[in-house]
Structure 1
Amino acid sequence: MIVLVLAIGYPLLVLWQLNGRKLRDRLDVVVVFAVGFLFLLFARTTVDWQAVPPWLWLIGLLLLATSVVRAGWAWPDLQWTNSRRGGRRATSAAIQLVIATALIVVLL
């Protein structure tokens, strides 16, 4: 059940971050959506959907799609890296994206 909380709660957290302008830069947006997709995929593959109604997963999917639309509006106002140490920031984001991509590939 914790997976469903992550699959629904994480997109809600993303919407809250986007509306409150809590994301610092475009790298934050990319990492947040990669992790959000990972949580949804993980929920889709690990939950027994005979015991849990599938519309719960669809709620998470719709919330993440809403977050993508909202991020599209915020995207032009963000810089790629908003940090004094842009190189470290980019390296950190790249490592996070590689880990998320590897997990997504394993789950597919």
Structure 2
Amino acid sequence: MENRIINKSAEMFLKHGFKSVTMDDIALEMGISKKTIYKYFKNKKELIKIVITQLIEKISYGIDFIFEMNLNPIDKLFTIKDFVTYYLKSESSSPFYSCKNTTL
């Protein structure tokens, strides 16, 4: 359940922004109670930290994998660009800017 909450939250945060999505929104979207979310996460701030950390780890792993491929530097650059673009396909520009100047 914890991973399902993280994955759904990541999807919603990327689509609508970190500030716009509430714990109520996540619970409603998943068909669970907000109490279930709080069973796994102390608060929204903790959930956002976990989502961002996992997202960075997954993207970093993918970029490391691309670097290990036998590609010329230009192809590596474009492959990385395509990978990150695909990974953040549902990202509107607002989620990351909404975190700017926010202390997590």
For normalisation by structure 2, the TM-score amounts to 0.41
For normalisation by structure 1, the TM-score amounts to 0.40
Structure with greater helix share of residues:
1
Q: Considering only CA atoms, is the larger Rg found in Structure 1 or Structure 2?
A: 2
